[in-house]
Chains A and B, each alone.
Chain A
Amino acid sequence: MRYGMAIDALKCVGCSDCVVACQTENNVPIGYCRDWIVEKTTGTYPQLQMEIRSERCNHCSNAPCVRSCPTSASHYGKGGIVLVDENACIGCKACIASCPYDARFIHPEGYVDKCTFCLHRVEKGQDPACVAVCPTKCMYFGDLDDPRSEVSQIMKKRKWKTLIPEAGTSPNIFYLI
């Protein structure tokens, strides 16, 4: 089993509902977020293109954060989800320095925090909070190893890309383009 997410960059309108839902679901402290919206404009006026993306931890299969963590607080959980054991984290910030996606932050309690794919919901058979609330239904979550899952199906039909493939991290967040 390998959990992954596909995000339709053509359908995302950048409403930030996913950000608010995540903060509410996971009690993310005010001023912090586990996911965020990026609006990227390319081209030269008047030939401009805008891409809107909901970004978060990429739950890489070859995660540099897991490798660099001295206490193994950063680890692979169920379905390859990259998790931080907050009780084992000493706050050294090696994972923050090594993450090419800047997906981690120091929680005011002193440990490192990040997206968990809402594992507590996934274990109950629910979608992550961000996926569940998306008004344009631009996010697809599921088992990438299961060819019948919605996420596997949509990735077969559509073109997709990952962020910074050059980093060699094998991310499990895919952007449909």
Chain B
Amino acid sequence: MNILNKKPIRSSDTASVSPGSMYEEVPLITGNQTFSSVTEKICSIVENDPPKMWYVLFGISLSLLLMLVGSVGYLIWEGTGIWGLNNPVGWGWAIVNFVFWVGIGHAGTLISAVLYLFRQKWRTSINRFAEAMTIFAVICALLFPTIHVGRIWVLYWFFPIPNQMEMWPNFRSPLLWDVFAVSIYFTVSLLFWYVGLVPDLATLRDRAKTKARRVLFGILSLGWRGGNRHWRHYELGYLILAGLSTPLVLSVHSVVSTDFATSIIPGWHTTIFPPYFVAGAIFSGFAMVMTLAIIARKAFGMEDFITIGHLEKMAKIIMVTGLMVGYAYSMEFFIAWYSGNEYEKFTFINRAFGNYAWGYWIMVSCNVLIPQFFWSRKMRTNVTVLFILSIFVNIGMWFERFVIIVSSLSRDYIPSSWDYYSPTIWDISVFLGSFGLFFTLFLLFIRFLPMISMTEVKGVLPQADPHHDMYHNSGDK
């Protein structure tokens, strides 16, 4: 038998294999979509009035955002003393929130860049809003270290700008690495997101019914005409940006982890922090994508685009990264015991049984125990279960950062300095306000821009395959 003549297996073939076959695979996009039905469905969200629930959610988000603005204004006026910080807990909720939001911001670029390079076609339905989520989460993340410095008006001292004081940043400080790592990540993610949007913006321009929309989308789509040359440059640019973004997915949270790991505080000074933080970031990021995806598909009837297959794959990633996080938790205990360092041993026993044990056990329950439900396919394919569990993971990952930061600082080397940290109403208002900022931006995004990439979704339809039967039957290539 001449194997060279054997017909290659394509996704369009595998999708139609009879039930029970080992190659059986759920189609990426269901509902017998065509190129035009994809355009109609996704553009209709942007071009028509949103459902009433959108206005309700936008009102709530905007109220929280206003609360954030007020709280930050008061914070700048009064100083960080309005927060629950004390000595030794100089880093409290603000830094917890910073790490939490940076973590959330990881999934977008992972889905866009890493899964793109690995040719995971299922990413096409979720990459656009996951990237948007990344950008908005990183905006929230950048807010916290900004307002956490007591003198926000001299924040530019972080940057290597020549000045009359002959000051120059200390490049040995991990905080400075943070500034560069997070801002580069933000810039590249924004660029990546925007480049991916260009063909879709051109579609919106071509469909625009008002001059204002036509001009606006015309400017934003950068004169895109969909010619062969445009597509070639687009694909190449997208690939380069994916290549540039991929190391950033790993580097950002690694750098964030060095804020702690390069310190000598017990519970922080450990070499497993970078991979542990990256795994945790992907874990929390996917949980947030899952939460948002489930809401979006329900609210806008996108079940054919974000199928249960997509959600199941995300659940598997959450489960795997959850296991990695759980492994890191146990390794921290092992290292503390094996090192023979009394301070490390105390720190971890204190985490599990000390003043903040409640936080530790919430963390373990949400991040280690709850993802175990995803071993069951029944659970992975139940949307309600997925939604609830993804929220638990988000809660757990916030507590992870709280446990790492607060429990270590409040019980550091010298018992005479120990203190208990409690947040004030201003800590809480800024935290809740950051959700207002995030959801305001996100709701504006799904209202005014295509939340699913039409271009990429069309690329995974069976019709996009030049070998598809449709073309052979009609003779049209």
Contacts and interface: CB of A to CB of B under 8 A. Distances in A.
A164 B414 contact: yes
B84 interface: no
Contacts of B174: 68, 94
A104 B409 CA distance: 13
A97 B90 contact: yes
A167 to B, nearest CB: 5
B175 interface: yes
A110 interface: yes
Question: Which bucket holds chain B's interface residue count?
Answer: 35 or more
Contacts of A40: 416
Interface stretch (A16-24, A84-92, A118-126): A84-92
B264 A90 contact: no
A93 B87 CA distance: 11
A70 B414 CA distance: 25
Name the prevailing secondary structure of the A interface residues.
Answer: loop
A108 B167 contact: no
B337 interface: no
B179 interface: yes
Interface in B403-422: 409, 412-414, 416-417
Interface in B134-171: 145, 148-151, 154-155, 157-158, 165, 167-170
B263 interface: yes
B341 interface: yes
A11 B454 CA distance: 79
Contact of B90 (A64, A70, A89, A93): A93
A116 interface: no
Contacts of B91: 93, 96-97
Given A68-B262, A70-B173, A164-B413, A89 B167 contact: no
Nearest to B177: A70
Given A96-B90, A106-B90, A88 B149 contact: no
Contacts of A89: 151
Contact of B167 (A55, A88, A93): A88
A136 interface: no
B158 A70 contact: yes
A71 B157 contact: yes
A90 B158 contact: yes
A111 B151 contact: yes
Interface in A67-113: 67-72, 87-94, 96-98, 100-102, 104-106, 108, 110-111
Nearest to B94: A93
A69 B410 CA distance: 21
Contacts of A97: 90-91, 263, 265, 409
A28 B409 CA distance: 24
A95 to B, nearest CB: 8
B224 interface: no
B81 interface: yes
Given A90-B154, A102-B87, A67 B341 contact: no
A87 to B, nearest CB: 7
B414 A101 contact: yes
Contacts of B81: 106, 108
B411 to A, nearest CB: 11
Contact of A72 (B150, B167, B179): B167
A100 B416 CA distance: 12
Interface in B85-133: 85, 87-88, 90-91
Nearest to B178: A70
B357 interface: no
Given A71-B167, A167-B264, 16 more contacts: A40-B416, A68-B175, A70-B169, A70-B173, A70-B175, A90-B158, A92-B148, A93-B148, A96-B88, A97-B91, A100-B264, A100-B414, A102-B417, A104-B87, A110-B79, A163-B413
14 contacts: A68-B173, A68-B262, A69-B173, A70-B158, A70-B169, A70-B170, A71-B169, A90-B149, A92-B150, A97-B263, A98-B263, A101-B414, A102-B87, A102-B413
Which 9 pairs of residues, A with B, have the shortest CB-CB distance? A91-B150, A96-B90, A102-B417, A110-B150, A93-B90, A70-B173, A70-B175, A72-B170, A102-B88
Interface of A: 36, 38, 40, 55, 64, 67-72, 87-94, 96-98, 100-102, 104-106, 108, 110-111, 163-164, 166-169
